[in-house]
Structure 1
Amino acid sequence: MTASAGRGRDAFAEIMTMPAPSSNTPAADHLLDFVFADVWQRPHLSRRDRRFVTLACVADADAEQPLRDHVYGALNSGDLTIVEIQESVLHFAVYAGWPKASRFNMVVDEQWHRIHTERGLPVPAPEPLLPLSTPSDPEQRLTTGEQSFRDINCLPYAPLRDNPYQGAGILNFVFGEMWLRPGLGMRERRLITVACVAFQDAPLPILSHVYAALRSRDLSFDEMDELTLHFAAHYGWPKASHLQGVVAEQKQRVSAEWAGEAGSGS
């Protein structure tokens, strides 16, 4: 075994909290030597940060065993709590779809039970879902959603309430509740969202969410570049190439806006 292969196997075991697989093919070799020994060890994103990006990728990819393994590793390592990963499932549902999130949620339950069985412990009672921290009054909730949309997207406007998609969906739920829920911070939600919009083929969400993550400073330029590399390793280079192009464009846009604000003293 080469030194590189040894590092890869050790890194896999530490990250995934299970023994590394046999490396007898080029794909398996480079999974260990590049993805785990190199990408997961790089600076700018923590191992916990990388969990959120990875989980979104494997949940969308319809890869059963990688999804099970990464959910298990995230929980068994203690990098993510059960509340954080369950909240990640809800956030993923909005940006990648409820059918895929349903499977993701089933795997989370399955692996949570597995971990407690392995440890000889009872599964704890779930955290209470109510009360919500967001308003229950319909008008207040829509108003909250409008302000949240502006704040999160770094825009001076919000969508009109003139159809169910924008009113009941975007304003009432997505920005009136989900982005404001306490289970995850804004940074974690940015990581999940950017990964999700990167594997979709919708042209506007990837522009708006990369822009907002950078403009808000929730993710730095270096962190966004690192997210792109991590995304490439877990979802594929063609989609990551498009993401990298969008990131480059939005860096220029944000830099120009910051320079303009500095020049005007605002």
Structure 2
Amino acid sequence: MRFSVMWPGVAACGLAVSCSGGPVVEVEMAAQEAPPNLYAGSPYLGELRNEVVYEEIWERPQLSKRDRSLITIGVLQALAREELAIHIPRGLDNGLTAEEISEIILHVTFYAGWPTGVQASLTAAEAFEARGIVLGELPRAPEIEEVAGPGAELSRAYASVPRLGVLRNSVLYGDVWERPLLSKRDRSILTIAVNQALYATNELRTHVGRGLDENGVTPQEVSEVILHVTFYGGWPAAVNAGRLATEAFEVRGVDFASLE
């Protein structure tokens, strides 16, 4: 089933850009009005959207606007939310390229399922067409030997599905994770965000550790991803993610007083 959000001006201009093409001050961008009637059924939610989500959370400096768009697009794809039609244009305005958005969709598909990738691809194509964007060449992963991925030697998850284990190493980690359009750090924060939203506890534990130990994600960035995703994936999933991050930080001797 295909959905399409038909709010006037959203696909063409996004929520964070002046339709006249002129520059927009970031604080003005954050506080810009939502599409008409979006919060008519819950007016206070509309107030919180402006005052908390956009004027506070999106303005926190611990993650760039680009990073926030990257993880928001990923989470909305994973949860099959119509707001993806808003956040793909916003991501373009926040410094993501169309090619990077294409790569986000590919990456998230392996964590949230093929139907989410199909729908996100359709939504992205509409946004790109509205802006006259034609995707450039998408570089492939370099030719490398099969990559085992994190925790392979400890996992018995694939004993009963051996072909899945082969594909995990050859496709997910040997191909998708090695594609150069997104950095390993980008892929880690994206994967943490999606696994938080999906309440995938075991995978989230693995990827918080991998992000910290291998891919250059800082404890503050992990903390900030969890905070940001709370407003798109829900409070219970955030509490679960926070608990897992606390365990990971304790093992690594992170100074909790340094977190903001």
The TM-score normalised by the length of structure 2 is 0.77
What does residue 44 of structure 1 align with? 62
Q: Deviations over 1:50-71 (max 9, x none)?
A: 111111222223321x110000
What does residue 33 of structure 1 align with? 51
What does residue 164 of structure 1 align with? 163
What does residue 79 of structure 1 align with? 95
Structure 1 pair 21–29 and aligned structure 2 pair: CA distance change class (3 A): farther
8 Å CA contact retained: 2:62, 2:220: yes
What does residue 109 of structure 1 align with? 125
8 Å CA contact retained: 1:11, 1:36: no
Identity of matched residues, %: 23
What does residue 211 of structure 2 align with? 213
Structure 1 pair 173–248 and aligned structure 2 pair: CA distance change class (3 A): same
Matches within 5 A, 1:59-98: 59-64=77-82, 66-75=83-92, 77=93, 79-98=95-114
What does residue 145 of structure 1 align with? 147
Taking the aligned partners of 2:170 and 2:225, their CA distance within structure 1 comes to 29
Q: Deviations over 1:230-251 (max 9, x none)?
A: 0101211111111011100111
Greater share of helix residues, 1 or 2? Answer: 1
Gapped runs of 5+ residues in structure 1? 1-9, 117-122, 136-140, 257-266
What does residue 134 of structure 1 align with? 142
Paired positions, count: 223
User: What value does the CA root-mean-square deviation take over the aligned residues?
Assistant: 2.6
Matches within 5 A, 1:232-247: 232-247=230-245
What is the CA-CA distance between 1:209 and the residue it aligns to?
0.4
What is the CA-CA distance between 1:156 and the residue it aligns to?
8.1
Taking the aligned partners of 1:27 and 1:11, their CA distance within structure 2 comes to 22
Structure 1 pair 158–174 and aligned structure 2 pair: CA distance change class (3 A): farther
What is the CA-CA distance between 1:198 and the residue it aligns to?
1.0
Taking the aligned partners of 1:15 and 1:104, their CA distance within structure 2 comes to 24
What does residue 173 of structure 1 align with? 171
Q: Which structure is larger by alpha-carbon Rg, 1 or 2?
A: 1
Taking the aligned partners of 2:192 and 2:253, their CA distance within structure 1 comes to 19
What does residue 227 of structure 1 align with? 225
8 Å CA contact retained: 1:215, 1:254: no
Q: Deviations over 1:119-167 (max 9, x none)?
A: xxxx43x33356x3433xxxxx5x4312xx2xxx3x5848699711001
Structure 1 pair 112–54 and aligned structure 2 pair: CA distance change class (3 A): same
Structure 1 pair 15–104 and aligned structure 2 pair: CA distance change class (3 A): farther
Q: Which amino acid aligns with 2:80?
A: D
Taking the aligned partners of 1:103 and 1:13, their CA distance within structure 2 comes to 31
Structure 1 pair 217–174 and aligned structure 2 pair: CA distance change class (3 A): closer
8 Å CA contact retained: 1:12, 1:32: no
Q: Which amino acid aligns with 2:238?
A: A
Structure 1 pair 159–175 and aligned structure 2 pair: CA distance change class (3 A): farther
